[in-house]
Amino acid sequence: MSPRSDPEFFDARYRADPDPWNFDTDWYEIRKRTLLLAMLPHPHYRAALEPGCANGHITTELARRCDHVTATDIAPRAVELTRARCREQPNVDVQNWGLGRIWHWENIFDLVLLSEVTYYLPADALTLAIEDMAAHLRPQTTVVLSHWRHTEKDHHLDGDEATRIALAALPHRSAARYVDDDVRIEVVTTVP
Ligand SMILES: C[S@@+](CC[C@H](N)C(=O)[O-])C[C@H]1O[C@@H](n2cnc3c(N)ncnc32)[C@H](O)[C@@H]1O
């Protein structure tokens, strides 16, 4: 398999299996979600953006801590699955949008969660996407970058490379960091 960025690839995975990464049961996935949610510096946020929401496991948790969550995925089936999981959470809006596409929103967010999504963009596209995102965020926004640290054939970048490239494109100060053999989680605060 070669690196992938096309929505059709991801959509086909969800159509073959509604939980293609075993988010329900895999201990890595459960532990990662727990860690990154525990690392958020504030108990409550006004407006979160979550590109790459998959089937909504993190979205539904974020919705308990945010006035509003905008969750997005490039796979239409993932959008449907997240809408279904969050159907009783009216503060969740799920859209078919991809990191790297034209920015959709006013600068409303005080939390952006990029979990296991940036390495689906090539390096140059990731830099442009994060620079564009940074131009639409206010200072003091919490941004979380969480990545699997092992090589995958469908990733353009490994987790540490993706983290480095994203952080280089985002004016920030570090708020928290967690690293083990499997996952790297960086929590930063945007600066002017
Ligand atoms: C490995 S899953 C990560 C899910 C979740 N964020 C997590 O960390 O558990 C990657 C997801 O990102 C989506 N995706 C891939 N490229 C994307 C992009 N450029 N923008 C938004 N979503 C994307 C895929 O469809 C898939 O649902």
Tens digit of pLDDT for each residue in 124-183? 999 999 999 999 999 999 999 999 999 888 888 999 999 999 999 999 999 999 999 999
CA of 53 to the centre of ligand 1 (A): 6
- Determine how β-strand 142-148 pairs with β-strand 111-115: parallel
Domain spans in the chain, listed from the N-terminal domain onward? 7-190
Give residues (CB < 6 A) around ligand 1.
Answer: 10, 21, 23, 29, 51-52, 54, 58, 72-75, 78, 98-100, 115-117, 120-121
pLDDT the model gives residue 114: 98
pLDDT the model gives residue 1: 74
Strand ranges (E), 36-171: 45-51, 66-72, 92-95, 111-115, 142-148
pLDDT the model gives residue 2: 87
pLDDT the model gives residue 104: 85
**Distance of alpha carbon 107 from alpha carbon 35, whole angstroms:** 27
CA of 120 to the centre of ligand 1 (A): 8
57-99 pLDDT, tens per residue? 999 999 999 999 999 999 999 999 999 999 999 999 999 999 9
pLDDT the model gives residue 4: 83
Question: Phi and psi of 69, rounded to 5°?
Answer: -125, 130
Q: What average pLDDT does this structure show over 101-129?
A: 95
Residue whose structure tokens are 């100060």: 173
CA of 112 to the centre of ligand 1 (A): 14
Report the SS3 class of residue 128. Answer: helix
> Is 182:149 a contact under the CB 8 Å cutoff?
yes
Residue whose structure tokens are 């390495």: 119
CA of 121 to the centre of ligand 1 (A): 11
Q: Around Cβ 22, how many Cβ atoms within 10 Å?
A: 12
Question: 7-190 sits in which CATH class?
Answer: alpha beta
Dihedral sign from CA coordinates of 134, 54, 148, 124: negative
